[in-house]
Amino acid sequence: MARNETFQAFVRTVTQVAMGVGGDLDKLKADDYPGTGRTVEEELTHNIATIGENMNLRRSAGLSVGKGVVAGYIHNKLADGLGKIGVLVALESGGDAAKLEALGRQIAMHVAAARPQWLSVDEVDASALDRERDVLSEQARASGKPEEIIAKMVEGRLRKFYEEVVLLEQVFVMDTDRKIAKVVEEAAKDIGAPVKLGGFVRFELGEGVEKAAGED
């Protein structure tokens, strides 16, 4: 269905509407679909009947900056603006816009490959951190070492956890000698002003959708 031209046109138009509502999903569904007299949700229902395939508008997100760029990257591109993985990266800076855009695209490509879940250590979900700490503590206790040693082992392993799931702590896929935080910091020299990584969004086709056994 992804190759259906009606579906592709619908996706592109909905993307434009989403930009106007800051990525808010409820507002997006209720907003006008251009040229039809229907809302986006009503147009979706219309297209389900027309195309004959079930569709669901389930995710939308937006990023914005006061001064800087929101750069994007699409992996496994099927058509203009359409692909299997889509990434947005917000960079805040008053420096050279073209260089900032290039940096943003590189970081977006990294996000597509490295699958970070959070921007910074401070943003890591508390329940996810507790689960990881419990698992690491259990593994460390199996070594039979004293509790004070176990605590140090857990903290060391948590740093490794952060390097896997936190964008700023990840090693840059295009330069494995530097973490993303260092890449952003050092880019300021070339861009001509301080740079802050303000946020990112990564959507992957089929992500979060439960599939029945044997389903492709």
Q: Where in the chain are the domains?
A: 5-51, 68-119+166-204, 125-165
CATH number for the segment(s) 68-119+166-204: 3.30.479.20
pLDDT score recorded for residue 78: 78
- Whether the pLDDT of residue 122 is over 50: the answer is yes
Q: Average pLDDT over the chain, rounded to whole?
A: 92
In this predicted structure, the answer to whether residue 130 has a pLDDT above a threshold of 90 is: yes
The amino acid present at 87, given as its one-letter code, is: V
Residue 5: pLDDT band (50, 70, 90) is confident
Fold annotation for 125-165: GTP Cyclohydrolase I; Chain A, domain 1 (1.10.286)
Q: pLDDT at position 80, please?
A: 78
Within 13 A of 40's CA, how many CA atoms are on the CB side? 24
Are the C-beta atoms of residues 167 and 197 closer than 8 Å to each other? yes
> pLDDT for 154-194, tens place per residue?
988 999 999 999 999 999 999 999 999 999 999 999 999 99
